[in-house]
Structure formats: structure tokens, C-alpha cells
Structure 1
């Protein structure tokens, strides 16, 4: 059977992250430019492989220009030297129903670590233009320090400014390539 190729529909997808600030509130950020590709043996996504996600670090947006500039600096992502975040999925594992685990390697700031994300498969439909589309909700958590994102500060009371744990969430719509 021929391999089916899929690519992201950026108009119907989003990638965000959440991090605790001062350990009392959560700041949400987005990557405005990203790409996802996948290959499957069938349209049911039970055999997904070669899943590749990339995000352009320069497209980070937390709705605060000063914070975004700091995140792009060497204190965090070092966008001038490491302009891309990359996840390469190698094992798409069913955990029952429409729930899956996607195991792969995440590279941030030149450091690659194994990561597993949760994937909820939303299904497949043909849109009004005849395009076959598949939908997914992806969630996970990573330690930013494991990827060399170690900048922090301490408040007068001894609290850290930025938590280590980063929550990831993405709504991804893929389009079958013909």
C-alpha cells in the first residue's frame, strides 16, 4: 500500500505553551509559524510515522513584545543560533479509543531529549473543497531546564519567576496531500 502524506493546515491549527509566572499565574505563548508533516499507511492514523513538527522561534508571541524579545535572547531560546524547535515522532501508540501517545525526540536550543506527548485523534472529514482533513489535540509537559532554558530570577520572598515545567498544547489539522 502506498504511503499517504499529510501536511498542516496552518489556518486551522495552533501551537501554544503555558508557564507559571511567579508561581501564581500562568502566561500563555504561541508559535505563529510552524509546520507539521506526517506519513500513514491508511487514513485512520493507526500507523502514523515520520511525524515532524518544527516551530520558528522568531515567531514566538506572548502578547508582550519585551518578554518575546527576552525569550528570543540567549537567556532562553537563543533564536539567532537556534532558530528552530523540532520534534520528530517515531512511535505512535494507541492507548485506547481515540487516545494515543506519540513518542519522539524534541530538540530545543541544540539539545535533543526523548519526549512523549498525548494525542487525541479528532477524526477525519472531507471539507467542502474536497480536501481530506484529520484533526488532533496534542498535550504534554516538558522541563525547560532539560533543554538549556535555565534563566530565572528570585523574588524578594524567595519565589522563582518562571517555573521549570512547560505545558504544551496544540490543535492540529492535517490535510491529505494528493
Structure 2
């Protein structure tokens, strides 16, 4: 495997490697430790332009029902009350702007649709590099986060509910993608 260090070498069309990608979240619970979770089902694609990152773009679709925190008694109400997964099965993000901050960091702004509400969200993204695999295919990696107020998307529960989670939720991700064409 050879490592790629030049951004221009990464230009092309990509699909998420779902087996090597983690999409998660952290929310503060009113009592006890933070609530950590992840989404198990998702798909996405990206166009990377290493010569002009502003021309890059990403698309992501997450299945709301795939939310997992490791606690069924918490997961079912989160899917139902916070995400309304029955009526809004998909959470989507489509980038509208990519800004290069420095050699490996980017600010990606896009439209996040959650519970049928679309609002802008900016992700802080860092490239973790690229490499050619044994078959000559190109893989790239990114990690990052964003903090959102879930109430801005209507994701709230009854105030007397026992699932009192802070309105501020941090999204975190580690992404691997495989180039499908140059």
C-alpha cells in the first residue's frame, strides 16, 4: 500500500466504505454519564476536487431506525420520539459549500434534513489521508464533528419524559471512502 500526500491526487468520485465508517453522537443526560450512540445503516458519496476543494461535495443518507446506544429501553423511545423514524425514515446531509481551512482541515456546510426539517449545519472535517490498497484502488479517510441543537429540527420529547437529554448533541464521524472513478 502506498500513502498519498498530495490533495490533487485524491480528486474523483467516491462511495462510503460502510464497514470502515462510524457515524455517532454524544448527548449529555440529565443524570449520569453522557449518552453515546451510533447509526448502523447509511450510505453516501462524495466528489473530491483536490485542486479546488470548494468544488467538492458530499451526500449522506442515514436510516433513522438504525440508531443504537446499547440500551433497548432508550433506543426505541429515541427512534420514536426524537427521530420520528416511522414518519421520517431517513436523515440526510447534502453539502452546499466546502471551505479549506488549512492543508488537512475543511469546513463543510450543508443542509441537514431531520424529522422533515431542513436546516444548515457546518461540519469541521479533517483529512486523515489517502492510500492505494493492494489492488490499486484509492481509499481516503476523514474525521470530524459538529454540534447541533436537536430542538432546531423538532427533535424533542415530552418534558416529563424520563429520557431527559441535553438539547445540544455532538455529531462525530470517522469516514472511509473508496474512489469509483477519477
Q: What is the TM-score when the length of structure 2 is the normalising length?
A: 0.86
For the residues of structure 1 that align with 2:155 and 2:147, how far apart are their CA atoms? 14
**Contact 1:152–1:162 (8 Å) recurs in 2:** no
Q: Residue 35 of structure 1: CA displacement?
A: 1.2
Q: Deviations over 1:100-129 (max 9, x none)?
A: 100111010000101101000111110123
| 2:156 paired with 1:153 | no
Residues 48 and 65 of structure 1, relative CA distance in 2, 3 Å threshold: farther
The C-alpha deviation readout for 1:41-67, integer Å capped at 9, x for no partner, is 34x672453310111011110001121
Trace 1:83-94 onto structure 2 (pairs within 5 A). 83-94=89-100
* 1:172 alignment counterpart: 175
Q: Secondary structure at the match of 1:88?
A: strand
Q: What does residue range 112-123 of structure 1 map to in structure 2 within 5 Å?
A: 112-123=118-129
Q: Which moved more, 1:59-68 or 1:19-28?
A: 19-28
Aligned residues: 171
Contact 2:54–2:100, Cα closer than 8 Å, also in 1: no
Give the conservation status (yes or no) of the 8 Å contact 1:23–1:163.
Answer: no
Alignment counterpart, residue 20 of structure 1, candidates 28, 40, 48: 28
The superposition leaves residues 118-153 of structure 1 with CA deviations (integer Å, 9 ceiling, x where unpaired) of 000111110123210110002110000000012153
Match of 2:130 among 110, 124, 148: 124
Query: How far 1:174 sits from its partner (Å)?
Result: 0.8
Query: 1:49-108 CA distances to partner (integer Å, 9 max, x unpaired)?
Result: 3310111011110001121111111x2111111000001011110111211100111010
Maintained 8 Å contact 2:57/2:98: no
Q: Matched residues in 1 for 2:151 and 2:169: separation? A: 10
TM-score by length of 1: 0.88
Computed over aligned residues only, the root mean square deviation of the Cα atoms, in angstroms, reads 2.1
Which segments of 5 or more consecutive residues in structure 1 lack a partner in the other structure? Answer: none
